[in-house]
Amino acid sequence: MDFDMNENLIVPVLPLRGLVVFPKSLIHFDVGRKKSITAINKAMKKDQLIFLTTQRDAVENEPTIIDLYTTGVIAKIVQVLKQPENTTRIVIEGQCRAKIVSPVFDEKCLMAEINLVEDEPFQMTARDSALMRTVKKEFEKYMEVSPKMPPDIIFKVALCKYPGELADFITSNLILDYHTKQSILEILPETHRLEEVLDILVNENFILRIEEDISRKAKQRIDESQREYFLREQKRVIEEELGEDDNPSAEAEEYASRIEELHLDEKSQDALFKECQKLMKMPYGSQEASVIRTYLDTVLDLPWNTSSKDKIVISKIRKVLDKSHYGLEKIKDRIIEQLAVKKLSDKQKGQIICFAGPPGVGKTSIAQSIAKAIGRKSQRIALGGVKDEAEIRGHRRTYIGSIPGRIMSAVQTAGTNNPVLILDEIDKLASDYKGDPTSALLEVLDSEQNNKFVDHYIDIPFDLSNVMFITTANDVSAIPAPLLDRMELIELNSYTREEKFNIAKKHLIPKQLELCGFNSKEVKFTQKGIYYLIDFYTRESGVRTLERLIASILRKCAVKKLEDDVETFKIDEHAIEEMLGHKKYLSDNYSDKDEIGVVNGLAWTSVGGELLPIEVAVMQGTGKIELTGSLGDVMQESAKAAITCIRSHCDVLGIDSDFYKDKDIHIHAPEGAVPKDGPSAGITMATAIYSALSLKPVRHDIAMTGEITLRGKILPIGGLKEKTMAAYKHGINTVIIPKENEPDLQDIDRVVKDKVNFIPVESFKDVIALAVNDTIEVSEKEWENIKITPQHKSGVATIRQ
């Protein structure tokens, strides 16, 4: 910027505290004083020029012109930035030196008349060049020993062409007292100014080298022991600040007092006191002390004497269970019986109950509802895939990172010594080289032994006899016999069609309506719609898929409500097919007319009962037996037993006794890709074989289930409830069942009882009399007097080849 050096300027004055600005320097700093901010604003309104000079005393808060150095720098304000807390940051560029001539009165800020100091014409000499080189070298040395110096300064120093310019730039970057910098600013001749800077640089370099030498010698004097002492003192101070400077003996005494408050048995108490004594002898920071401390904290946190009071009001508990779960009457009755006995007597210890049934029928949720109904804390322990015995019993403390087992961890989390522990998926336990977790559960699930259960980590007995254990399993056969013997087994059958309907209507739909932000007036499921969803879009034992489908429908309703402003929805068969697509499962079709060699059987699957037609074809051949339809070993043997039964009764049944020589028999169960097994299709296959050999049709409106022996006796089967529901669903009006299964009819759904006629039978002759048209009459005496001849015996061998 060009100035008229002959004219004085009247400009605002900005006093600086501890800061000296040199010409041609670009710096920024914060301004907080009110008068200084006013001076900046005044300068910005005029020509952005302001006079910067340093206070003689940096402590002075409201300086006057007299308190300032007369020599300063006229500068141009480049940028003004507003900062929080009423401060302003300015960026200024020094222009040239100036001196105060006289103050100018202004109430709001400092003003002064200043005289610009013009640099005298300068002619470079050899001595000046040598001086500049010397100063640059000394400055390089300064940069080597001085901290916090940016490396790019050396390049800017090299660009300086005149002594005054070099002196100003170096002085502005040196770490010096502001009085010293001000003295250099006031030196006008360039050579004298640079000589003064050289003296200061040499002196600073000398002092910095002495400091470096003192520091190096001091470090050498500190040997290893002094260093360790220094570090320990530092650690002690840090621990004091963090509150971790506990006295080991005081800490051990605190643990001992807490142990006494537990009132444990003498042996357990002594074992814990020994741990306290070990802790007392160890330094605080040792690793072993940390292990003992963690152990004692874990043991003392266990609920040794804390138990929750049972809120046993039988009528209320029944209502709570009925409200949360539909059906499951056996489970509810068993739990209520146990609670009633506990209400009358405290002598009965915790019982171990196993809920066994297919997935999704509510085993885990009913267990949690039981805990809630009686006011106990509950913890769920997932056992699926657990292979390590230490997961149950815990790890011994000799191992790094050892922790208690899942049983003790669950008790600790529950906070009471009588919680309800739900051992989920107990049939999914596995074993490997680390041990058998199933064997570790033998002590836990034994009410006669678990009053002194010893976890490997805790290492003192804990009473689990007050804990109510509820286990769940899908496959009872996968549970080892000794473990199963310790539990009372309650089987949950798959839900029937009617039960699924009621569960969906009373529980699933209201739950999903709330989760999706609807009310019962906005979305209404019709009765036919719910049945349609159950019949054609799900095929499961439980209701998980059904709940997911209901949620899917409601999500689609939510989209329509927001996009198309639809307020109410009626979910019927048409709406379901529109939202979910075509039917996923079709009804099993069975013949609507009497046919030869086709019999309706009934089968149990994990997703409920199914109608299982059995087809038999007889052809001319050499006595071969073909079994197809993915039949399991037991079912294949059942088919061979049926053939032997027919052969051994050929005379009374009116069948050619030599059919096994010149006839090939093919037995097939449709849906060949679906595996099938079990003996309950015995009478179905025997009836179909008899029909095919005698060429007499079998009634299409009748179904049957039962195991058959070689002499034609009908043995009982399982899964009668599901099988009869399948018959009801397919319109079968008569079901033949084994005589010994007659008591099981009490568990049959009431709707099925009203629509289906059940006929108990004891012998195969009764079956063919009921199912086959135009059968011959066989007396009891004729049937019982049948003998298996040697010829028949050889025939059995032929069948089994």
Residue 425 in tokens? 């998926």
Task: Confirm whether 680 is a catalytic residue.
Answer: yes
Helix, strand, coil % in the chain, rounded to nearest 5:
45, 20, 35
Beta-bridge partners for 94 = 75
* Nearest CA-CA partner of 710 in 779, 654, 656, 646: 646
The SS3 assignment for 30 reads strand
DSSP 588: P
- For the stretch 397-412, pLDDT in tens is 878 878 888 888 888 8
Per the residue annotation, which of 183, 308, 369, 680 is the catalytic one?
A: 680
pLDDT at 758: 92
Find the mean pLDDT for residues 272-287: 77
- For the stretch 620-643, pLDDT in tens is 888 888 888 888 888 889 899 998
Q: How many CB atoms lie within 10 A of CB 225?
A: 8
Find the mean pLDDT for residues 283-301: 79
Give the rounded percent of residues in the chain with a pLDDT score beyond 70: 90
Find the mean pLDDT for residues 279-308: 80
Residue 111 in tokens? 């003003």
> 395 CB contacts (<8 Å, ≥6 apart)?
401, 402, 403, 456, 457
pLDDT at 458: 84
Which stretches does DSSP call E strand in 357-419? 378-382
Find the mean pLDDT for residues 588-614: 77
Instruction: Identify residue 534 by its one-letter amino acid code.
Output: I
Beta strand 714-715 with 707-708 is antiparallel
Find the mean pLDDT for residues 706-724: 87
Helices (runs of H) and strands (runs of E) counted in the chain:
31, 24
Task: Confirm whether 225 is a catalytic residue.
Answer: no
Instruction: Identify residue 465 by its one-letter amino acid code.
Output: S
Q: Is the pLDDT of residue 686 over 60?
A: yes
pTM (two decimals): 0.57
Mean pLDDT, the chain, whole residue set: 80
pLDDT at 470: 87
The SS3 assignment for 514 reads helix
As a whole number of angstroms, the distance between CA 148 and CA 140 comes to: 14
Task: Please answer whether residues 689 and 652 qualify as being in contact, where contact means their C-beta atoms are separated by less than 8 angstroms.
Answer: no
Burial class (CB in 10 A: 0-12, 13-18, 19+), 57: exposed
As a whole number of angstroms, the distance between CA 112 and CA 105 comes to: 8
* Nearest CA-CA partner of 723 in 609, 589, 612: 609
Residue 732 in tokens? 């079968």
Residue 530 in tokens? 């719910």
Task: Please answer whether residues 624 and 664 qualify as being in contact, where contact means their C-beta atoms are separated by less than 8 angstroms.
Answer: yes
DSSP 428: G
Q: How far is CA 463 from the centre of its chain?
A: 31
Of the listed ranges 190-194, 227-231, 455-459, the one predicted with least confidence: 227-231
DSSP 638: H
Of the listed ranges 106-110, 452-456, 597-601, 777-781, the one predicted with least confidence: 777-781
Helices (H), 565-629: 573-580
- For the stretch 523-561, pLDDT in tens is 888 888 888 888 888 877 778 888 888 888 888 888 888
pLDDT at 222: 65
Task: Please answer whether residues 136 and 158 qualify as being in contact, where contact means their C-beta atoms are separated by less than 8 angstroms.
Answer: yes
> 323 CB contacts (<8 Å, ≥6 apart)?
none
As a whole number of angstroms, the distance between CA 447 and CA 352 comes to: 8
Residue for token pair 């998980």:
544
Contacts 24+ apart (CB under 8 A), 534-537: 534/497, 534/500, 534/501, 534/504, 535/497, 535/585, 535/587, 535/729, 536/583, 536/584, 536/585, 536/586, 536/587, 537/576, 537/580, 537/583, 537/584, 537/585
- For the stretch 461-496, pLDDT in tens is 888 888 888 888 887 878 888 888 888 888 777 777
Per the residue annotation, which of 35, 332, 723, 765 is the catalytic one?
A: 723
As a whole number of angstroms, the distance between CA 23 and CA 191 comes to: 16
Confidence of residue 239 (pLDDT cuts 50, 70, 90): low
Instruction: Identify residue 22 by its one-letter amino acid code.
Output: F
Question: What number of CA atoms fall less than 13 Å from residue 117's CA on the CB side?
Answer: 19
The helix (H) or strand (E) run that includes residue 669 is: none
As a whole number of angstroms, the distance between CA 601 and CA 682 comes to: 9
The SS3 assignment for 490 reads strand
As a whole number of angstroms, the distance between CA 455 and CA 407 comes to: 9
Task: Please answer whether residues 69 and 142 qualify as being in contact, where contact means their C-beta atoms are separated by less than 8 angstroms.
Answer: no
Residue 467 in tokens? 């804990």
